[in-house]
C-alpha cells in the first residue's frame, strides 16, 4: 500500500468537497491520519495469511461444542467507506481437531479488518474453520451497528444488523443456533 499516494488522494478528496486543509486548521494533517488509519488499522487484515495462521494453531482434541463469544468486530463498509462495529460469536462442533481461542479471534479480526460486507466476514470465517478443522458444523453470528445506515438514505436505522453463516448438515442447525445465542 502506498501511504503517500493515499494521503494525497484524501487531500484531493477534501478539496473536491470544497474543504481546503491549508485554510481550515482542523483539517491540517487529516489526509495523513486517514491514510495511516486505513493502512495500519482498517485494512490491516489483508496482511494476514489465514491459512498460515490456522495451520500453526490447529491441535488434536475433542469437545462437544466450542463457542467464543463477544469477539470484537470493526470493519469498513466497501460501499460507503464508513465503519461498522459490534461483535461476533464463533462456534463449532469439533471432530478430532480444535483451535486455540486466540486464533479464532485473530481469524475474525483479519477478515473484518478489510473492506468487507458483514455477510462476507461470516462466510469467510466459517469457510476457513471448516477447511482447517473439518468440524461437524461451524457457525459465525455477527452483530454490527453500521454508520452508513445511521447517516445515509432516508431510513436512518440505528439498530444492529445480525447475520449468521453456517456450514454443516441440516440436522445440526438447532445445536448451532443455540451455540451462537439464537435460541432456536
* CATH assignment at residue 133: 3.30.1130.10
Say what the pLDDT of residue 148 is: 74
Do 68 and 150 belong to one domain? yes
CA distance 127 to 98: 15
Same domain, 12 and 91: no
pTM: 0.89
Q: What is the pLDDT of residue 34?
A: 97
Instruction: Provide the pLDDT for residue 43.
Output: 96
Q: How confident is the model at residue 147 (pLDDT cuts 50, 70, 90)?
A: confident
Q: Is residue 98 domain-resident? A: yes
pLDDT of residue 11: 96
Q: Looking at the structure, tell me whether residues 76 and 26 fall in a common domain.
A: no
pLDDT tens-digit profile of 16-75?
999 999 999 999 999 999 999 999 999 999 999 999 999 999 999 999 999 999 999 999
* Average pLDDT value for residue range 85-111: 96
29 lies in which domain range? 3-42
Whether residues 35 and 72 share a domain: the answer is no
Same domain, 54 and 36: no
Q: Is 88 found in the same domain as 24?
A: no
Domain count across the chain: 2
Do 58 and 131 lie in one domain? The reply is: yes
Asked if 31 and 108 sit in the same domain, the reply is: no
65 and 38 belong to one structural domain = no
Residue 101 included in any domain: yes
Kindly state whether residues 130 and 89 are assigned to the same domain.
yes
| C-alpha pair distances (Å), 99 with each of 90, 103, 162 | 12, 7, 25
Per-residue model confidence (pLDDT) at position 70: 96
Average pLDDT, the chain: 92
Q: So what's the pLDDT on residue 115?
A: 96
Give a yes or no: residue 184 inside a domain: no
CA angle centred on 27, ends 24 and 31, rounded to 5°: 140
Residues 97, 11: one domain? no
**Long-range contacts: 38-41, Cβ < 8 Å, 24+?**
38/6, 38/76, 39/1, 39/3, 39/6, 41/113
Amino acid at each position: 500500500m502506498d501511504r503517500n499516494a493515499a494521503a494525497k488522494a484524501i487531500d484531493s478528496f477534501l478539496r473536491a468537497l470544497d474543504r481546503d486543509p491549508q485554510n481550515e486548521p482542523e483539517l491540517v494533517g487529516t489526509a495523513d491520519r486517514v491514510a495511516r488509519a486505513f493502512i495500519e488499522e482498517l485494512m490491516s487484515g489483508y496482511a494476514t495469511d489465514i491459512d498460515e495462521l490456522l495451520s500453526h494453531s490447529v491441535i488434536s482434541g475433542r469437545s462437544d461444542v466450542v463457542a467464543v463469544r463477544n469477539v470484537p468486530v470493526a470493519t469498513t463498509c466497501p460501499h460507503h467507506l464508513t465503519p461498522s462495529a459490534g461483535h461476533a460469536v464463533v462456534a463449532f462442533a469439533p471432530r478430532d481437531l480444535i483451535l486455540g481461542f486466540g486464533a479464532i479471534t485473530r481469524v475474525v479480526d483479519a477478515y473484518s479488518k478489510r473492506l468487507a460486507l458483514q455477510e462476507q466476514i461470516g462466510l469467510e470465517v466459517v469457510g476457513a474453520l471448516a477447511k482447517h478443522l473439518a468440524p461437524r458444523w461451524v457457525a459465525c453470528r455477527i452483530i454490527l451497528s453500521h454508520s452508513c445506515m445511521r447517516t445515509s438514505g432516508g431510513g436512518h436505522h440505528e439498530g444492529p444488523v445480525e447475520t449468521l453463516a453456517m456450514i454443516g448438515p441440516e440436522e445440526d442447525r438447532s445445536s448451532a443456533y443455540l451455540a451462537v445465542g439464537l435460541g432456536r
